[in-house]
Amino acid sequence: WIHFHPKVCIVGSGPAGFYTAHHVIKARQDAEVDIYERLPVPFGLVRFGVAPDHPEVKNVINTFTQTAKHSRCNFYGNINVGKDVSVEELQQAYHAVVLSYGAEDNRKMGIPGEDLAGVYSAKDFVGWYNGLPSCQKLNPDLSCDTAVILGQGNVALDVARILLSPINILKKTDITQPALEALEKSQVRRVLIVGRRGPIQIACTIKELREMAKLPGTRPEMLAADFDGITEALKNVPRPRKRLTELLLKTALEVPNEEEQERRSKASRVWAFQFFRSPVEVLASPDKTRTAGIRLAVNRLEGSGERAQAVLTGELEDVPCGLIISSIGYKSTLIDPSVPFDSHKAIVPNINGRVQQVAGLYCSGWLKTGPTGVIATTMNNSFDTAKSLLDDMASGTVDLSASKAGFHSITGLLEKRGVKPVLFSDWEKIDSVETSKGEAIGKPREKILTVQEMLQVVHK
């Protein structure tokens, strides 16, 4: 039996891509892994999704950098798979292809008026302040008093925190300069975080809630009525959910101690969770050009705990606001027609990461599971995909007796198509420009905001 070195191609350089690569390289001493990325810069949502004031979450970049610099790993940025090179071409060049390109798109609310000026998806808003090139033209209008965020997950809380944080805190983060300037001029004083269900179904984690409760210069203002019967219901819920709800109750209802009372009385900005509300329509300004408010349906809950369903009561409520941010989830898109795709669930149909009906094709990350969980969740799900791939190599399902040329055969195609790959050493040039620009003004980094500028640094 002649066995060639397994050549594996991974599409997408976010956490899922890197964790999958790491596991394959570690488990097989002969495997060679190439990571393809659409942008000239790696790390996906760690760079473009994690909140600027959560630098500790970005420490995984150190681990990913080690993987990228491994002798059997290569990073090829600035290659748009599906456009510059097809998935079928990658399948011919590699023994196995893993799709890990994440969730690029927004879930739509599906309500009238959602296309009015002043309505943004959280994904785009986060991309804007985190320097995602495709979101730099967003230029959100922050001249209103009240912002409404639809959704109560961690991303919704990140957005609320960024909208309400004192500028001197944000100035020390890697938030982009244009976002910093816009937030400095922002008139937003009140942020409502709206959810369909009740306090026990809230989707954020305790860390994010705690940060919100302690955010300098802000105070919570919640409706006591929203918490009726909650203490009673807490007896039957799992411990993490119980602790989260207790903190929420304490923040909303408890009479604060003297120090906290003083802090709240000085606060110039207000935030609140609003429960049992679903968006029905974005209300337009008199001249119909932009948003002036949102109409919410009032819900009641049927059932209890995680499975409780929001049911309409028929009652409606209008909330005046000039900024609406929809944080109801990300969704994956199809990058290549040859790949099976479930457009209803917005995932590539798979069993343990094996793409059904296509031998040698795998998926990991949000493309595999849908957009749920934190980086650690993605780590575990990527290891599962890597294990499926490694098992298939061991069993012969992935045929290693065929010689594959890997990137060598893709280079020619890219050259013909005028595509110049960006290597990891090129990213390190970008990284060093960004960190030194940041150091000069007391920030961890100042991100380069356009692909064109990134490429200029690379080809200097």
Question: Taking phi first (over 0 means left), then psi (-120 to 50 degrees means alpha), and beta for anything else, what does residue 404 get?
Answer: beta
Q: Is 197 known as a binding-site position?
A: yes
The partner residues of 105 in beta bridges, in order of sequence, read 331
State the Cα torsion 291-48-270-372 to the nearest 10°.
90
Q: Is 37 known as a binding-site position?
A: yes
Q: Is 29 exposed, middle or buried (0-12, 13-18, 19+ CB in 10 A)?
A: exposed
SS (H, E, C) 5-18: CCEEEEECCCHHHH
**Selection from 236, 212, 93, 105 nearest residue 157 by Cα:** 212
| Cβ atoms of residues 38 and 6 within 8 Å | no
**Measured distance CA(283)–CA(295) in Å, rounded:** 7
Q: Is 11 exposed, middle or buried (0-12, 13-18, 19+ CB in 10 A)?
A: buried
Q: Is 373 known as a binding-site position?
A: yes
Q: Please give the angle made by the CA atoms of 409, 415 and 417, to the nearest 5 degrees.
A: 110
**Extended strands (E) in 46-145:** 73-76, 96-99, 105-106, 119-121
- The dihedrals phi and psi of 177, each to the nearest 5 degrees, come to -60, -50
**Measured distance CA(100)–CA(337) in Å, rounded:** 16
Q: Is 208 known as a binding-site position?
A: yes
Q: Is 1 known as a binding-site position?
A: no
**Measured distance CA(196)–CA(296) in Å, rounded:** 10
**Selection from 459, 375, 364, 427 nearest residue 75 by Cα:** 427
CA atoms within 13 A on the CB side of 321: 26
| Cβ atoms of residues 140 and 125 within 8 Å | yes
Q: Which residues contact 396 (CB under 8 A, 6 or more apart)?
A: none
Q: Is 16 known as a binding-site position?
A: yes
| Cβ atoms of residues 361 and 91 within 8 Å | yes
| Alpha helices (H) along 258-361 | 258-266
CA distances from 109 to 71, 151, 312, 330 (A): 46, 11, 16, 12
Q: Is 196 known as a binding-site position?
A: yes
Annotated binding site for NADP(+): 152-155, 196-197, 208, 373
Annotated binding site: 16, 37, 45, 81, 152-155, 196-197, 208, 366, 373-375
